[in-house]
Structure 1
Amino acid sequence: MKLKKLLICSIGLSLLLGGCMNMDKKVEDEQTTKNVDTETGSTDNEELNQNQHERDLYMSVQDYTGEEYETPTYNEKIDKFAEENRLVVEKAVKNYFSEEYKTEVIVHNIVGAQDGAAVIVESVGEPHFYTEAIIPIDLSEEEILEDEVWSQKGQVEDAIITGLLAMIFEEKYRVLENYLEEAVNKYPVTGITQDALEKVSASGYSTTLYYTDWYQPLSSELYNTYIENPNMTKDEWEENFSNFEYDSNLLGITIDLYMNEENQSPDEKIFESIVSDIEGLQGVPKGAYAVIINDNRINKTSGIGTKENSIILRDFELIIKE
């Protein structure tokens, strides 16, 4: 199974040089800086630049609110224009979700992209989920194309399904969430902040400690029922779909945690303990579970903490809960 959002960043290891030097030592170091490492082909200056780049790109997960988030095709001018016209953007996106998906949403973040803005939203009430839409913007005409809002194929549908599953099987999700709350109290790990969850997450039913993905390429019975009967109560959903069956591999549940301390590397023992706990945990949602332990740093622009030193339960190791 292909897990979404697992971006493995290649970060080079480097030494930060510093301290007071006498003149002879300074001259010696300046000469060393000019020499090229014959094995890597890099200079010490390049290593220092890489180190600085890493400091600029990452920040502590506890301090990250998602304000720095950028789309892969980030456009600063469109970002500014969209923010200046936030009320127009919000109204258009809310109308889109209401008309296309029978869902009321809250707009949490508007981020400039190529030819438009990405708008991250959260559903109001249940089913509860996060997702996003794109609103086209013609900057040359200073025009927001309010009637042309769109979303990636299947993205909103899949998000709705994860929200429906969390609503129907609430008790099972509560078992998982209670365990994770106990885990972050027991181990020196944490999740993302609530602000970051709202501004960056677009992955269906999610919390600060895990996110879910639905991998069904075609519309599900759940989704079709929701669109046809958007006003069904939670009790009605539970009554009609409490025995809803699906393949465990269709629901991805990714537990995504960070070390508490800034200079802590991901802890293998904590990782193994959590994996073992999940394997033995009863009464949790049916699905394919992944576990990730990152260090304390998160990428400011992508909102992703996974990097080369992260410890990850890979695709072929996923924990399948029936």
Structure 2
Amino acid sequence: MKYKKIITLSISIPILLGGCMNLDVGNHDKNGEKTEANSQAEYNQNLISVQDYTGQGYELDGGEETTKIAEAHREEIEKAVKTFFLDKYKTKVKVHHIVGALNAASVFVESEGEPHFHTYAVVPIDVKAEEVLTDKVWSQEGQVESAINSGIYAMVFDQELGKLDDYLAKTAKQEPVVGMRQEAVNNVMASGFHTIYYYITTFDDSLDKVYLKYLKNPNKSKEEWKREIKHSKTDPESFYVTIHLFMEKPNTEPDKSIFDQIVKDLENMEGLAPGQYSVFLHDNTINKKAGSNSQENTLERSDPTYIMKD
């Protein structure tokens, strides 16, 4: 299977961004300026403080018709999705959020126990018949497999990731920065292993073997995985650790001195899990329709200048 490189905050399916994708900044006539102003105003209306965001208002293309149908059939959707993950991926999941999409419902789930990860499945919907096709649940190619691998990675490098967890929690305590709320992670994030500060994604065909071993024995212990996956044989370019922090106070620009210190600390820190690290420091807002911050004022250290850890 081919895993797609996932380095954005949200899932890799079409997302409505409150009309901002239609901004024509090159049009300077009066109508163009009016359209641009309206689009920007609409975008700004969808901004919410990250501390208040739990996933409310999240939208996917084409979800207007299917959202009500999905809500009316929530119980059977939950049952079908849980059965799908148990049958295909040998994994028990809990359903957090169901979002209408084009002729379908996207269902955000979290694995129970370890490996721990967030991902999603898709349940087709016949809009005309107002019928949920629970026998045709599917997942995007490589999405769940990559999520499982990221969860196994977190099991193997739990001590190393614990060091990152401690550092980010300490930083949030000492500096005016915060992560996302856990409810938001549960409801709209599907990138794999995910904390309130960062998420891990994988991109390597060689990890197929890890996933296949998981299917054969999903109850393998952390110690068993550690014996199988050796640090010295782990390619850091196969793993992406993406850190997203937000300013604590509203109407505050991302602080460059804080950002620079975090980057410097991570560059100098020893004992971190192998991978390519990205750091994003946003203002206090998040776009509730997209579940992410895509403002131009975000401070960023990422591709192609990842912080590499072997």
Is TM more than 0.5 here? yes
- Which residue in 1 is equivalent to 2:213? 225
Question: Which of 232, 238, 257 is residue 226 of structure 2 equivalent to?
Answer: 238
Shift of the 222–105 alpha-carbon distance from structure 1 to 2, 3 Å rule, reads: same
Question: Which of 133, 151, 159 is residue 121 of structure 2 equivalent to?
Answer: 133
Q: Report if the CA contact (8 A) 1:266-1:294 is conserved.
A: yes
- Which residue in 2 is equivalent to 1:112? 100
Gaps (5+ residues) in structure 1?
12-38
- Which residue in 2 is equivalent to 1:41? 29
Give the match's secondary structure for 1:317: coil
2:48 matched to 1:59?
yes
Give the match's secondary structure for 2:281: strand
Shift of the 103–6 alpha-carbon distance from structure 1 to 2, 3 Å rule, reads: closer
- Which residue in 1 is equivalent to 2:57? 68
Please report how far the alpha carbon of residue 6 of structure 1 lies from its aligned counterpart in structure 2 after TM superposition.
Answer: 5.9
TM-score, normalisation: structure 1: 0.85
Report the Cα distance in structure 2 between the residues aligned to 1:6 and 1:226, rounded to whole angstroms: 26
Report the Cα distance in structure 2 between the residues aligned to 1:276 and 1:3, rounded to whole angstroms: 24
Question: Which of 136, 154, 168 is residue 180 of structure 1 equivalent to?
Answer: 168
- Which residue in 1 is equivalent to 2:239? 251
Q: Report if the CA contact (8 A) 2:9-2:189 is conserved.
A: no
- Which residue in 1 is equivalent to 2:297? 309
Shift of the 233–265 alpha-carbon distance from structure 1 to 2, 3 Å rule, reads: same
Cα deviation code 1:217-252 (max 9, x no counterpart): 465322111011112122322333344722211101
Q: Report if the CA contact (8 A) 1:6-1:306 is conserved.
A: no
- Which residue in 2 is equivalent to 1:86? 74
Residue 57 of structure 1 aligns to which amino acid in structure 2? N
2:181 matched to 1:193?
yes
Question: Which of 288, 292, 298 is residue 280 of structure 2 equivalent to?
Answer: 292
- Which residue in 2 is equivalent to 1:4? 7
- Which residue in 2 is equivalent to 1:202? 190
Report the Cα distance in structure 1 between the residues aligned to 2:177 and 2:283, rounded to whole angstroms: 9
Give the match's secondary structure for 1:270: helix
Please report how far the alpha carbon of residue 3 of structure 1 lies from its aligned counterpart in structure 2 after TM superposition.
Answer: 5.5
2:100 matched to 1:97?
no
Residue 138 of structure 2 aligns to which amino acid in structure 1? W
Residue 296 of structure 2 aligns to which amino acid in structure 1? E
Larger Rg: 1
Q: Report if the CA contact (8 A) 1:117-1:135 is conserved.
A: yes
- Which residue in 1 is equivalent to 2:150? 162
Report the Cα distance in structure 1 between the residues aligned to 2:166 and 2:274, rounded to whole angstroms: 16
Shift of the 280–112 alpha-carbon distance from structure 1 to 2, 3 Å rule, reads: same
Alignment of 1:277-288 (within 5 A): 277-288=265-276
Shift of the 266–321 alpha-carbon distance from structure 1 to 2, 3 Å rule, reads: same
Shift of the 291–53 alpha-carbon distance from structure 1 to 2, 3 Å rule, reads: same
- Which residue in 2 is equivalent to 1:263? 251
Report the Cα distance in structure 1 between the residues aligned to 2:9 and 2:149, rounded to whole angstroms: 21
Please report how far the alpha carbon of residue 307 of structure 1 lies from its aligned counterpart in structure 2 after TM superposition.
Answer: 1.7
Residue 100 of structure 1 aligns to which amino acid in structure 2? K
Please report how far the alpha carbon of residue 53 of structure 1 lies from its aligned counterpart in structure 2 after TM superposition.
Answer: 1.8
Gaps (5+ residues) in structure 2?
11-16, 21-26
Give the match's secondary structure for 1:255: strand
- Which residue in 1 is equivalent to 2:14? none
Report the Cα distance in structure 1 between the residues aligned to 2:182 and 2:92, rounded to whole angstroms: 20
